[in-house]
Amino acid sequence: MSKKKYTVAVVGALGMVGTEMIKTLEARQFPVGELRPLDLPQHEGVELYFGGRTFTTQIANGENFSGVDIAIFSAGGAASKKLAPLAVEKGVVVVDNSAAWRMDDHCPLVVPEVNADALKEHKGIIANPNCSTIQMVVALKPLHDAARIKRVVVSTYQAASGGGQPAYNELKMQTEQILAGKEPTVEKFAHQLAFNLIPHIDVFMEGDYTKEELKLVYETKKIMGDDRILVSPTAVRVPVYYGHAESLNIETEKKLSVEDVRALLENAPGIIVQDDPVNAVYPMPAMAAHTDAVFVGRIREDFTISNGINMWVVADNIRKGAALNAVQVAESLVEQDLVDPANWAGTYSG
């Protein structure tokens, strides 16, 4: 990591993901000279402790990006659309965790273990992919490089925290209410989530796929750099606090044995293989919560097709699915000397 120190803004600093971003910056010893927490006006003046120093939360506006080198956003799409261009105008490189810029042709969509080279084309804004996409492509990348993936059927089992702090709180409240024999309060989810599964995340779109499901389709193609990959998704919200799980059915052009897949994954960055079914060893959200890796297990051949593999992928959606990936993008920008506007591929102009 560079010896240079950077002024780093975190937009949405007091939210669930913003808080985790700040913890991750500190835990990974990112070279922060000044931390600038930015949030809503009502949070102005809140003090945050970072790296042995106290920093005061400021209002997220264009003026407060002056002097910032890197801004990591987790404040929602509307805020990102408004504020990211203002930051870029002041020479700030933005890593945005919302969906606002993900499919913009001028903004790289980056998972560092998969396509860090895409950062060289950034024009001031880099998009952080959706949480469920991140863990999937980390697991798919080694297989794609070895045998080219033709098709993926993915079913996700996504934790309540993927809906933010209010959704997390609602699951907790519903669980307590039901155990107390009360009617559960339903506000953030379409239905009761506690002791239930909901095959509905975000709004329904074309073909009755949800927006969350279509993110898996389009983001995967962009990150992997291969529009030929077919993705058939179903996204399900489950009564788990932290940790998304995914069942992947993968068809490749070339044959990969289970041993091939296991070896590829064991040697890939960011992945921990937990695959000893005889001894009941496989990834689970409860074990992956509050950790950084993408865990893969239940690796087995799909005997219904010639070149098919099934596997189970789990990761903490707040860590690797959001905060950690954004910080890793920032680290890669530093490593590739892409923070200084003089080294950008141009400046984002809308």
What mean pLDDT comes out for the span 162-186? 97
Q: What is the mean pLDDT of residues 126-146?
A: 98
Dist CA 208 CA 305 (whole Å):
27
Q: Which pLDDT tens digit goes with each residue over 36-74?
A: 999 999 999 999 999 999 999 999 999 999 999 999 999
What is the pLDDT averaged over residues 176-190? 97
When mean pLDDT is compared across 109-113, 182-186, 345-349, the lowest value belongs to: 345-349
CB atoms closer than 10 angstroms to residue 64: 19
pLDDT the model gives residue 3: 81
Phi-psi region of 298 (alpha: psi -120 to 50; beta: other; left: phi over 0): left
Q: Tokens 């404040």 — which residue?
A: 75
Q: Among the options 107, 122, 131, 144, which is catalytic?
A: 131
pLDDT tens digits for range 220-264: 999 999 999 999 999 999 999 999 999 999 999 999 999 999 999
Distance CA 345, CA 350 (A): 15
Q: What does DSSP assign to residue 73?
A: E
The reply to whether 107 belongs to the active site is: no
Place of tokens 């997220």: 60
Catalytic entry in 107, 122, 144, 244: 244
% the chain with pLDDT above 70: 99
For the domain spanning 132-317, the CATH number is 3.30.360.10
Q: What residue spans define the domains of the chain?
A: 6-129+322-343, 132-317
Q: Phi/psi at 54 (nearest 5 deg)?
A: -110, 130
Inform me whether the pLDDT recorded for 213 exceeds 90: yes
- CA-based nearest residue to 250, from 297, 209, 294, 301: 301
Best CA proximity match to 116, nearest among 91, 85, 131, 95: 95
Q: Is the pLDDT of residue 215 over 60?
A: yes
pLDDT-based confidence at residue 348 (cuts at 50, 70, 90): confident
How far apart, in whole angstroms, are the C-alpha atoms of residue 239 and residue 234? 17
CATH number of 6-129+322-343: 3.40.50.720
Crossing angle of the two packed helices 131-147 and 211-224, in degrees rounded to 10? 40
Query: Hey, what long-range contacts does 323-326 have (CB within 8 A, 24 or more apart)?
Result: 323/17, 323/20, 323/21, 323/23, 323/24, 323/74, 324/24, 324/292, 325/111, 325/112, 325/128, 325/129, 325/134, 326/21, 326/72, 326/74, 326/95, 326/97, 326/128
What pTM, to 2 d.p., does this model score? 0.96
One-letter identity of residue 318? I
Cβ-Cβ contacts under 8 Å for 97 (sequence gap 6 or more)? 17, 72, 73, 74, 128, 322, 326
Q: What is the pLDDT of residue 1?
A: 55
Asked whether residue 2 carries a pLDDT value surpassing 90, the answer given is no
